[in-house]
Amino acid sequence: MDPALIALFIGAALASLFMAWVIGAGSSGATPFAPAVGANAIGTMRAALLVGIFGFVGAVTQGGNVSEAVGSGLVGGMSMPVTGVILVLVLGAGLMAVGVVTGYPIATAFTVTGAVIGVGLALGGTPIWSKYQQIAAVWVLTPFVGGGIAYAIASLLPRSDVPERYSIPVLVGLVTAVLVNIEFSFLGGESSAGTLRGVGQQILAVDGRASALVLTGGAAVVVAAVVWWDVGSDQRGGLQRVLLALGSLVAFSAGGSQVGLAVGPLIPLLEGAEIVSMFAVLVGGGLGMLAGSWTGAPRMIKSLAQDYSSLGPRRAISALVPSFLIAQLAVLLGVPVSFNEIVVSAIIGSGAAVGGREAVDARKIGMTLGAWAGSFLLAFALAYATAFLLL
């Protein structure tokens, strides 16, 4: 292989690692445990440690769908050149780094998606409108759906006629039902992913929809019963353990979704080249995010936990449940999604349910909304102009 081409590949890999570090230090590293830190269930440094570990596991086991969408599903009719990949990653990571330094959560999905589309169109690619419509629908609906679900849960939990010993286990049971039906790459064959429910069906030698419903319901009931006993024995400690478990699931989901924003642009370079496997690329991206979570996330965790809303354990649980559900839907659809948007919307919804307008910082929220919209437009404009002029 031409030494110059090898150098470009190395440059693209380094840019991808830098992007992974920035993502770990920013959105995926900060948002999953921010509600738990805000509720004083876990310290900032311990949260950064855990989110890095669970994010890495999620990146390796669930990162394929979003990676392929970012790499080849946003622009048609072309294969992104190495220089274009480097430009996408440098622009995206640069804008994210600004967010990390200033303490304002710039949406990673918006910046990377805007950069990929901008470079691709500037180099003669064709827009894939069906994918854009799907992405736009998820982005627009996320604040309303996530915030609405969080608002509803936070409104129910404090009610005297809905005892927490029963309401919390029901919520955890619903999350468990979703978890056992999530696809993991290591549970499937060479061409498909598998689920925990599917593994159970194989072990019991059963098949069909009825057995799937029984196994899903059985897992939900067992976990809910454990939580019922735990919360009943030690309410405060039980709520904190539920909160930490949900934070871990959201961190896992963040890894599965956000790693695609770092390594997805590399996918066109891997097609036909057989330099490294997709698994190795996901591991590299996961390690980069882990390093970012451990070294750079505490600042953003503190910003989100303290500035957006004053959360107790109940409101934090209310924020994390919809965050997990929306994140897994995005992974299933292969849609790049912003974890800042998901978790911040849920935090706002849960905070407003209890404290009204006084529970959230309207100025901070307004600046965040502006950063989200501006990051996509700025990334697209910079990427398009730079690629059109230089590449």
Q: Read off the pLDDT of residues 93-111 as tens digits, 9 standing for 90 and up.
A: 777 777 667 656 567 888 8
58-62 average pLDDT score: 88
The alpha carbon of 186 is separated from its chain's Cα centroid by a whole number of angstroms, namely 20
CA distances from 125 to 33, 83, 245, 280, 387 (A): 39, 15, 43, 28, 12
pLDDT given at position 311: 63
What's the chain's Rg over C-alpha atoms? 21
> Is residue 106 helix, strand or coil?
coil
> Rounded CA gap, 340 and 100, in Å?
12
pLDDT given at position 324: 92
The secondary structure of 131-156 as a DSSP string is: HHHHHHHHHHHHHHHHHHHHHHHHHH
The alpha carbon of 363 is separated from its chain's Cα centroid by a whole number of angstroms, namely 25
Q: Are 185 and 278 in contact (CB under 8 A)?
A: no
Cα dihedral 250/113/271/331 (nearest 10): 30
Q: Are 201 and 215 in contact (CB under 8 A)?
A: yes
Please give, one letter per residue, the 3-state secondary structure of 31-59.
CCCHHHHHCCCCCHHHHHHHHHHHHHHHH
Position 306 pLDDT exceeds 70: no
> Rounded CA gap, 84 and 268, in Å?
11
> Rounded CA gap, 55 and 31, in Å?
12
CA distances from 301 to 46, 67, 104 (A): 11, 25, 11
Q: Which residue has the higher pLDDT, 278 or 307?
A: 278
pLDDT digits (tens, 9 = 90+) for 348-379: 888 777 666 555 666 767 777 777 777 888 88
pLDDT given at position 206: 86
Confidence band, pLDDT 50/70/90 cuts, at residue 309? very low
| % of the chain with per-residue pLDDT over 70 | 86
Confidence band, pLDDT 50/70/90 cuts, at residue 247? confident
Residue 102 amino acid letter: T
pTM for the structure as a whole: 0.85
Cα dihedral 350/356/361/367 (nearest 10): 80
pLDDT given at position 169: 93
Q: Are 269 and 51 in contact (CB under 8 A)?
A: no
Q: Are 114 and 377 in contact (CB under 8 A)?
A: yes
